[in-house]
A and B are shown apart, each in its own frame.
Chain A
């Protein structure tokens, strides 16, 4: 049974905006990247999982429980880091995280212990006794993560966890997310519009666009080698392509590169000889990898 199972999940807002459009997907344990442009429906999906908003139609279950009817049972085991600010400025991180632990059903003593532990984990030390209002964005983001972790959730939903952070803060937050997911074994869904971040921390990727599922697959399958060899030359790419086509290869020109299909035979000797014959200056020969960006550009091409 998948951890999250959505079936034809649709959310339409009153003003005719369709945030989710028949989304069907399964989420298995791991660190899952939920990627899509702003407005693709990422936040809406997370909020539906939490029961913060109700779907227009379709269904979704978390740990086998229906989000609409069994919301309180589900939320006992879910941690949520919202995209927006959500911290009261006038109390300390220790007090706030303890309070949230108790809101999640922990007994008082356990909530205090767990608070000390998760604040240490996210890297908040002396400052945890000071009011949150005086914290930097990076520290506030850590408190948001701590409150999501305090009750040892089975599922962690992080909505743009690096929002508003500087590059160093981003790196730290991503490391923290990765450690949380791998070392603690908490299934983590990271929603982000930044593919690079998803690529760094996630093992599985869900790409959504316009409220629909674009693709769901392990990250590795997006970045593995493709069957294309890119030969970059200083000039004369067209000549080279013609020569290679004469040899029965499929070659197309892309800027200064010639893209050669790698069917079965090794084309390297032919390419080498062709370049030598034509007296071209070879810059680079590389086997192309998929890039996550292709996912969306392919879609755009298909649409066009």
Chain B
């Protein structure tokens, strides 16, 4: 390390003393390597998914959607608390079974808005060549970004379910008893949130990774959800079974609800799953296929993209 005395730049500061130029210092500390780099990328991307460390404008959509997702649960918990003392407590319209199905549009919008945010800019501004010239592999980048989007959707799905969970415990007259009754549902809560977060995150990122253009990506993701929803109802008027039910497999949200019903039960009246004629595990299979094929497409995209 060199230490040189440099004359102060302006005459007025001569009396104030000298500036010490410490020169350049090397770095001998630890280098945490690939694993730390992946975790850095995951966490910074998760923060970016919620517009953190960005301007206020970047927060509007993710926070707005998260608040809207929480709103029905908050109102239900509030009403329950207000009517708890009366002899006939109002039954909550929301359950762990039907809540996520009810707010499915919000997940589609979140994926459409935030998936391009996570991966579009790196392609648009060619930051990708810097990432790829660091101590990570291309697949690491792809999976860290996918993980971040899935985690963001998971948080968005989990928060309202947890609000229902704690609402029903804290709103009960016998809290200990209510806790004992609600606790077994925790697996279902985590599982349902995961069932929604993984495939929707994969779909969103697989589409967003294709283009550096944000508007195109957002439009394409919304288009995919609209088209698949349309295809799923196309044969409905004909009512030919099992054709009508098979067509429903095209809609990822119906697949998700089918998977959820298959694993946790609790068929909900306003979902097509309640009247399906095909076996529930088939929905689970399609959901897994969406996740795997989508992930493979993302990995392939980042292997071949030029940087």
Contact pattern, A 273-290, Cβ under 8 Å of B = 1, otherwise 0: 000000000000000000
- In chain A, positions 86-123 with a C-beta closer than 8 Å to chain B are 86-91, 95, 99-100, 102-107, 110, 114, 117, 121
Instruction: Please tell me if the beta carbons of A91 and B53 are within 8 angstroms of each other in the complex.
Output: yes
Q: Which residues of B contact A72 (CB under 8 A)?
A: 33-34, 135-137
Interface size on A, residues (CB 8 A): 39
Q: Which residues of A contact B132 (CB under 8 A)?
A: 50-52
Complex: how many Å from CA A72 to CA B135?
4
Complex: how many Å from CA A132 to CA B130?
16
A85-B125, A114-B27, A151-B27 are known contacts. Are A105 and B33 too (CB-CB below 8 A)? yes
CB < 8 Å A-B pair total = 105
Interface-central residue, B41, B58, B125, B135, by most chain A CB under 10 Å: B135
Contact pattern, B 91-133, Cβ under 8 Å of A = 1, otherwise 0: 0000000000000000000000000000001100111011111
Instruction: Please tell me if the beta carbons of A86 and B129 are within 8 angstroms of each other in the complex.
Output: yes
Q: Which of B41, B55, B135 contacts A75 (CB 8 A)?
A: B135
Instruction: Please tell me if the beta carbons of A102 and B127 are within 8 angstroms of each other in the complex.
Output: no
User: Measured between C-beta atoms, what is the minimum distance from A77 to chain B in Å?
Assistant: 8
A125 at interface (Cβ–Cβ under 8 A)?
A: no
Instruction: Please tell me if the beta carbons of B126 and A85 are within 8 angstroms of each other in the complex.
Output: yes
Instruction: Please tell me if the beta carbons of B135 and A104 are within 8 angstroms of each other in the complex.
Output: yes
A52-B307, A105-B33 are known contacts. Are A90 and B55 too (CB-CB below 8 A)? yes
Contact pattern, A 151-192, Cβ under 8 Å of B = 1, otherwise 0: 110000000000000000000000000001001100000000
Instruction: Please tell me if the beta carbons of B133 and A152 are within 8 angstroms of each other in the complex.
Output: no
Q: Which residues of B contact A50 (CB under 8 A)?
A: 132-133
A59 at interface (Cβ–Cβ under 8 A)?
A: no
Of the candidate stretches B18-26, B67-75, B200-208, B272-280, the one touching chain A is: B18-26
Q: Which residues of B contact A104 (CB under 8 A)?
A: 31, 37, 134-135
Q: Which of A52, A88, A147, A183 contacts B24 (CB 8 A)?
A: A183
Complex: how many Å from CA A51 to CA B26?
25
Q: Which of B40, B54, B137 contacts A103 (CB 8 A)?
A: B40
Instruction: Please tell me if the beta carbons of B33 and A76 are within 8 angstroms of each other in the complex.
Output: yes
B293 at interface (Cβ–Cβ under 8 A)?
A: no
Complex: how many Å from CA A117 to CA B23?
9
A107-B30, A121-B24 are known contacts. Are A102 and B36 too (CB-CB below 8 A)? yes
B228 at interface (Cβ–Cβ under 8 A)?
A: no
User: Measured between C-beta atoms, what is the minimum distance from B268 to chain A in Å?
Assistant: 41
B29 at interface (Cβ–Cβ under 8 A)?
A: yes
Contact pattern, B 265-307, Cβ under 8 Å of A = 1, otherwise 0: 0000000000000000000000000000000000000000011
The residue in chain A whose Cβ has the minimal distance to the Cβ of B137 is: A72
Interface-central residue, B32, B41, B131, B306, by most chain A CB under 10 Å: B32
Q: Which residues of A contact B126 (CB under 8 A)?
A: 82, 84-86
Q: Which residues of B contact A87 (CB under 8 A)?
A: 125, 127
A73 at interface (Cβ–Cβ under 8 A)?
A: yes
Instruction: Please tell me if the beta carbons of A95 and B53 are within 8 angstroms of each other in the complex.
Output: yes
Q: Which residues of A contact B23 (CB under 8 A)?
A: 183
Instruction: Please tell me if the beta carbons of B131 and A103 are within 8 angstroms of each other in the complex.
Output: yes
B44 at interface (Cβ–Cβ under 8 A)?
A: yes
Q: Which residues of A contact B31 (CB under 8 A)?
A: 76, 104-106, 151
Complex: how many Å from CA A78 to CA B307?
17
Q: Which residues of A contact B55 (CB under 8 A)?
A: 90
A204 at interface (Cβ–Cβ under 8 A)?
A: no
Complex: how many Å from CA A53 to CA B36?
24
Instruction: Please tell me if the beta carbons of A147 and B130 are within 8 angstroms of each other in the complex.
Output: yes
Q: Which residues of A contact B134 (CB under 8 A)?
A: 75, 100, 103-104
Instruction: Please tell me if the beta carbons of A110 and B135 are within 8 angstroms of each other in the complex.
Output: no
Q: Which residues of A contact B25 (CB under 8 A)?
A: 117
Complex: how many Å from CA A180 to CA B58?
38
User: Measured between C-beta atoms, what is the minimum distance from A74 to chain B in Å?
Assistant: 8
Complex: how many Å from CA A182 to CA B44?
35
A80 at interface (Cβ–Cβ under 8 A)?
A: yes
Contact pattern, B 131-149, Cβ under 8 Å of A = 1, otherwise 0: 1111111000000000000
The residue in chain B whose Cβ has the minimal distance to the Cβ of A46 is: B133
Complex: how many Å from CA A95 to CA B127?
14
User: Measured between C-beta atoms, what is the minimum distance from A98 to chain B in Å?
Assistant: 10
Complex: how many Å from CA A107 to CA B30?
7
User: Measured between C-beta atoms, what is the minimum distance from B305 to chain A in Å?
Assistant: 11
Q: Which of B33, B54, B133 contacts A52 (CB 8 A)?
A: B133
Interface-central residue, A80, A82, A102, A151, by most chain B CB under 10 Å: A102
Q: Which residues of A contact B44 (CB under 8 A)?
A: 99
The residue in chain B whose Cβ has the minimal distance to the Cβ of A110 is: B29
The residue in chain A whose Cβ has the minimal distance to the Cβ of B125 is: A88
Instruction: Please tell me if the beta carbons of B27 and A103 are within 8 angstroms of each other in the complex.
Output: no
The 16 sampled A-B contact pairs (Cβ below 8 Å) are A75-B135, A80-B129, A82-B133, A84-B126, A86-B126, A88-B122, A95-B53, A99-B40, A99-B44, A100-B134, A103-B134, A104-B134, A105-B31, A110-B29, A121-B24, A151-B31
Told that A75-B133, A76-B31, A147-B130 touch, could you supply 6 new A-B pairs with CB distance under 8 A? A80-B129, A87-B127, A90-B54, A90-B121, A95-B53, A105-B135
Chain A interface residues toward B at CB < 8 A: 50-53, 71-73, 75-76, 78, 80, 82, 84-91, 95, 99-100, 102-107, 110, 114, 117, 121, 147, 151-152, 180, 183-184
